[in-house]
Structures are given as structure tokens and as C-alpha cells.
Amino acid sequence: MKILALDTSNVALSVAVLENDQLLAIQTTNIKRNHSKQLMPIISQTLKTAEVSLADLDRIVVAKGPGSYTGLRIAVTTAKTLAMTLEIELVGISSLAMLVPNAPNDGLVVPFFDARNQNVFAGIYEKHGMEVTPVVADQHLSFESLLAKINELGRSVYFINNHFEKFQPMVEDTLRVIAEHSTTLNNLPNAYALGLLGLQKQALENYYTFVPAYLRVTEAERNWKEKHPNDESKESYVRQIN
């Protein structure tokens, strides 16, 4: 099976081509640029390096969120368009889960993204080799609440975040378990790991119902709901935190 894996959920952009579990080519950038302009050229370049054509692909794996609203829309829209056009399989993987294999050892891993105002997007995962199992589902919550959940588990953890120093004082004051945190290299998304996780998952049955996992309400959505309080036409797939 030939797989194209792509992630634009945050500042970094990562694209990989795999054949089953073997990496053929990968390209990762960590420069704040317009992903909408960069993604397709990087996909083309990575496919060329791997000596794989679009017609050779069997599956596309995309990081579905949480993360940047714009970045998520770019990757998910690109992945859906390619999968539908090529009539191949599509798999969505958590943008947090794809970071878990970066941890150097097995155990509890806590990847999180800064969501501002002392809030984060975070999940708690059990890592065993390349197996990644959610322990606490991805969610948008206060960092204080995240630490409380970790204390309840009572096990040492490994944090993955590219601005951990901002949160370290609260960790040292609040956490009652042993904690380590990632180095700069381990903070970067790895589309190869994304592809490996996607290889283990069932493909989506319906392209059209696949949407990014934003996990929080946008300002536009919040304003709309305030004006239409009785509308229940859509299921909420986000969690709002004031």
C-alpha cells in the first residue's frame, strides 16, 4: 500500500510518502509561511523524490486537528479532494496523537498545543512502541484542568510542546508526579509517524462527512449561536471554554 501523509495543523508542515511501513520520502518545514501556497508544491516534490505518482497512491492520511483553523482546513480539504479525485482511501488522525511516537520511551505521553489564555488542546496517550492508545480524549481545556487529570492518573508523564517553558512553572507547582518534556526536535510533527498511525486505521466510509476536529467554537460560530439559540440542526463537535 502506498500512502501520502500530510500535516499542516500548526506552523510546521510535514509531508511523507510510505510504502506500507517503509518511508520512501519526507519533507518537513518549520517556517511560518502560507501553507495554502506551500502544500501542493511540497507534495509534488516529495512524490517525485519517492518516485511515486498520484496514480500510484492507495491511501491518504491527514492530521485532522486540533490546531490552527486555517491550517486544518487546508490539509483536510486537500486530502479530501485528492482522495475523491483519485478514488482512494482517506484516513484522519489526531494532530496530537501523531506527536506521541516522538517520545523516546513507552508510557504516558501528553502532547498539547497552546490555545491561549492558559487553555490548551491536549490529550493523554499510552505509548507502546508505535502503538498509540488514547487514555484521555483530545479536548480543549485549561492547563490547570489538564494537570489535575494527570494527577488523578498518578503516573509519570512525558510532555510534548514547543513552548513548554511557558507552562513549566505551573507544572512544577501543581504536578505531583514525575514529568519530563520534549526537546526541540521531538516537538516537530512527523508525517512518517502520521502515515504509520494511518496504516493501522480503517479508512473513512464517507468523504463528505469528514471535518476537522477543531475542538473549540470559532468566534463566528459563537456569534451565530447567540443569534440562533434554538437551532439544533448540527451536532456540536467542539467544546467551548470561557
Instruction: Give me the average pLDDT of each 10-residue run along the chain (242 residues).
Output: 97 97 97 88 98 99 96 97 98 98 96 95 96 97 98 98 94 96 88 97 94 79 63 50 45
Whole-angstrom Cα distance, residue 8 to residue 14? 7
Whole-angstrom Cα distance, residue 19 to residue 25? 10
In the chain, the domains with their CATH numbers are 1-93+188-217 (3.30.420.40), 101-184 (3.30.420.40)
pLDDT digits (tens, 9 = 90+) for 62-110: 999 999 999 999 999 999 999 999 999 999 999 999 999 999 999 999 9
Backbone angles phi, psi at 76, to 5 degrees: -65, -40
Do the beta carbons of residue 78 and residue 39 sit within 8 Å? yes
| Residue 234 confidence (pLDDT) | 47
Grid coordinates given for 176: 505531583
Q: Which of 215, 218, 222 is nearest to 112 (CA)?
A: 215
3-class DSSP state of 126: strand
How would DSSP label each residue in 58-72?
-EEEEEEESS-HHHH
Whole-angstrom Cα distance, residue 49 to residue 131? 28
| Residue 58 confidence (pLDDT) | 99
Cβ burial 152-185 (10 Å sphere, 16+ → b, else e):
eeeeebbbbbbebeebeeebeeebeeebebbeee
Specify the DSSP class assigned to residue 100. G
pLDDT digits (tens, 9 = 90+) for 133-142: 999 999 999 9
